[in-house]
Amino acid sequence: MKKYIAVILILLTFTSSDAQELKCQVQINAQKINGVDQRVFQSMQTAVNEFMNTRVWTQDVFSPEEKIDCNFFVNLETNPSQDVYTATITVQSSRPSYNSTYNSPVLNFKDADFVFTYTENTPLEFNVNQYNSNLTSVLGYYAYLIIALDYETMSKGGGAKYFTTVETITNLVPQNASDAKGWKPFDGGAISGNRNRYNIINSLQGGKYEGFKQALYEYHFKGMDNFYENPTAARQSVLNALDKLDKTFRDNPNNVLITLLMQAKSDELIGIFSGAEQGDKIKAVTVLKRIDPSNASKYDKIIRG
């Protein structure tokens, strides 16, 4: 696939008006909001959908089949003042596994600190180097995070410049803005365990989490992309990735990155190791129960598989 080759060989690329990187499904749920014309929410969904799918986010060329599949689910919670909404946004992304029709999930994160202003028929303005609104900053943040993680699964350090872009977006949000929630170290508090936008990118940019990014590459490029040709070797690569995640967890047990990945991967991992040798099953389950205790009971299916 061209995108794989471009990333691995770090080929020079160019800007193209037909090079949109994302194939994004957007859903706005406004069932909890009363007293607002439903047309506003239809307009909001259309605007966000066009923002995600028509913008060119990088200088790299993507063919239609190479676009990154992602989903944005926005649940509107309250409407505290005109055109202002509190919400949660769940962001999911996946990438294809080589020589198969299977898409491997990469990201599944529920952001509970989403406050934004939307005025019907007002264009959604975004500039990586300038803060325009919390709505477009959050959407841009996740667009580049999805792209960065996708590139990281295909090449060691492949997502580096896009992680830097995510960090730039984060740093430009005014700390005193009324809707600037989820951008500071302790936003979310005990309820979310400080699992917020600030801590996600701060961890991904920190050198002590290189093992996490190496695990992404080992898991996907050496693991998932080789299951068709050599499932035994591919499964071993996934085990090696789990070892790296385990070390990251032992060094930083409350870090958001492990949660970020395991929310996407738990079901897939059950499928991967249910057909493994008994010794590998035991190794996998031991690590998985340690790094992902919330899903510990699910992993017993591996032993029974």
Ordered alpha helix ranges (H), 108-230: 134-152, 160-172, 189-192, 197-204, 210-217
Contacts 24+ apart (CB under 8 A), 258-261: 258/212, 258/291, 258/292, 259/193, 259/195, 260/107, 260/108, 260/109, 260/195, 260/200, 261/212, 261/216
d(CA 139, CA 136): 5
Q: State how far the alpha carbon of 59 is from the alpha carbons of 109, 137, 156, 283, in Å.
A: 26, 20, 19, 42
Q: What pTM was computed for the model?
A: 0.92
pLDDT of residue 211: 95
Q: Which residue has the tokens 């984060």?
A: 170
Which residue type occupies 278? Q
Is the Cβ–Cβ distance between 163 and 157 less than 8 Å? no
Is the Cβ–Cβ distance between 289 and 257 less than 8 Å? no
d(CA 79, CA 45): 16
Give the residue-averaged pLDDT of 93-103. 93
d(CA 150, CA 179): 29
pLDDT of residue 280: 96
Q: Band of the pLDDT at 194, cuts 50, 70, 90?
A: confident
Q: Band of the pLDDT at 189, cuts 50, 70, 90?
A: low
Give the residue-averaged pLDDT of 127-148. 97
Residue 209 clears pLDDT 70, i.e. is over it? yes
As to burial, measured by CB atoms within 10 angstroms (0-12 exposed, 13-18 middle, 19+ buried), residue 147 is: buried
d(CA 192, CA 206): 21
